[in-house]
């Protein structure tokens, strides 16, 4: 099982920021900022990979990772037509302990075929569901509802370490009065004001990188 996320302190402190996604397999996943869209990612692929590799450290021994290879990864994009794209993703390894990692752009989520902005738009009601089963959409919404309170707790603690004070709206996040996606968006704005939140393809991808909570 993966490590506990945050443990009361921020884990994303430098841009672009990398955080391990829990995985039971030896090859683990790291999310990184590599552009907001597939087009931006593919247009500067070598540049994004070089930037992510420069920040990548083994989560076991903190040794800088080295480039290993790449693999192709499915990424479904369309709300109305199940359009599948095959994207190359970088694989790296730790020269000290031998662990291998896959670096994913943060518009993708480990073990999910649909891109993260697609799932986010469905969960928040901004877009209709793509051509998948009703059970799939229900599972997305249930998982987000269960994870959001933990994410809000971690992000509020992080905000407190950055600003040493919480405003009225910030305290509403802790009490649950400002909850759900609305609370997450508020905390992201506050951390942006504190200079601790930079680029991300979508809100859910940013939360995963910021505190390790999967949405």
Query: Nearest-CA neighbor of 209 among 1, 64, 6?
Result: 6
pTM of the model: 0.72
d(CA 71, CA 107): 17
Domain layout of the chain by residue ranges: 19-145+197-211
- Smallest Cα–Cα separation from 182: which of 136, 140, 137, 124? 124
pLDDT string in tens for the chain (215-residue length): 333 344 433 333 333 344 444 333 456 888 888 888 888 899 999 999 999 999 898 888 899 999 998 999 888 876 555 566 788 999 999 999 888 999 999 888 888 888 888 888 888 888 777 777 888 888 888 988 888 888 888 888 888 887 767 788 888 877 777 778 888 888 888 888 877 766 677 888 888 888 878 77
In what order do the strands lie in the sheet containing 28-32? 19-21, 28-32, 100-105, 84-93, 66-76
């Amino acid at each position: 099982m993966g490590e506990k996320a945050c443990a009361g302190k921020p884990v994303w402190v430098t841009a672009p920021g990398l955080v391990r996604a829990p995985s039971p397999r030896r090859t683990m996943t790291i999310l990184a900022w590599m552009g907001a869209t597939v087009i931006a990612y593919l247009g500067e692929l070598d540049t994004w990979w070089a930037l992510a590799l420069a920040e990548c450290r083994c989560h076991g021994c903190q040794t800088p990772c080295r480039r290993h290879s790449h693999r192709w990864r499915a990424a479904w994009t369309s709300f109305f037509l199940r359009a599948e794209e095959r994207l190359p993703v970088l694989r790296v390894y730790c020269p000290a302990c031998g662990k291998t990692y896959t670096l994913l752009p943060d518009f993708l989520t480990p073990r999910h075929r649909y891109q993260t902005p697609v799932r986010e738009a469905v969960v928040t009601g901004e877009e209709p569901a793509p051509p998948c089963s009703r059970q799939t959409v229900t599972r997305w919404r249930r998982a987000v509802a269960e994870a959001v309170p933990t994410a809000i707790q971690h992000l509020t603690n992080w905000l407190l370490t950055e600003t040493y004070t919480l405003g009225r709206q910030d305290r509403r996040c802790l009490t649950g009065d400002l909850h759900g996606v609305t609370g997450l968006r508020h905390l992201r704005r506050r951390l942006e004001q504190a200079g601790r939140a930079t680029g991300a393809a979508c809100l859910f991808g940013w939360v995963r990188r910021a505190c390790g909570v999967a949405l």
